[in-house]
Amino acid sequence: RKEVEQDPGPFNVPEGATVAFNCTYSNSASQSFFWYRQDCRKEPKLLMSVYSSGNEDGRFTAQLNRASQYISLLIRDSKLSDSATYLCVVNINYQLIWGAGTKLIIKP
């Protein structure tokens, strides 16, 4: 079993819709969690950290469920510019473990 698993997608979503995807992790000692965004043929960039109580940044909401060992990302009112691959990242003992990413395509 991979340490960090994501549905590769693609998720094809109409502009303006709400989309959510999850990421599961296997190591209960995981200490911190992040969502990165990667555009096609570009480098990853931090989208948001994920806090225990959940957190929101504009149209983006991240949640952590330690009991079930998953994190989620919700995007509301999706824009064409949200099309990208979203990478789930878990910090285990100061080493980042990266998921393979979920590809999101927003259609007009």
Closest C-alpha among 95, 105, 47, 107 to residue 71: 47
DSSP 10: P
DSSP bridge pairs for 4: 25
Instruction: Name which position in 12, 18, 27, 42 contacts another protein (CB under 8 A).
Output: 42
Note whether 62 binds another protein by CB under 8 A: no
Rule CB under 8 A: say whether 74 interacts with another protein: no
Query: For the chain, what is the radius of gyration of the CA atoms?
Result: 13
Residue 95 as a binder of another protein (CB under 8 A): the answer is yes
Phi/psi-derived region of residue 41, left when phi > 0, alpha when psi is between -120 and 50, beta in every other case: left
Closer to another protein by CB, 34 or 78: give it: 34
CB atoms within 10 A of CB 22: 16
Query: Does 60 participate in binding another protein (rule CB under 8 A)?
Result: no
Choose which of 87, 103, 104, 106 interacts with another protein (CB under 8 A).
87
Give me the least distance between CB of 11 and another protein, in Å please. 16
Task: State yes or no: residue 91 binds another protein (CB under 8 A).
Answer: yes
User: Shortest distance, CB of residue 15 to another protein, whole angstroms?
Assistant: 28
H or E stretch covering 96: strand 95-98
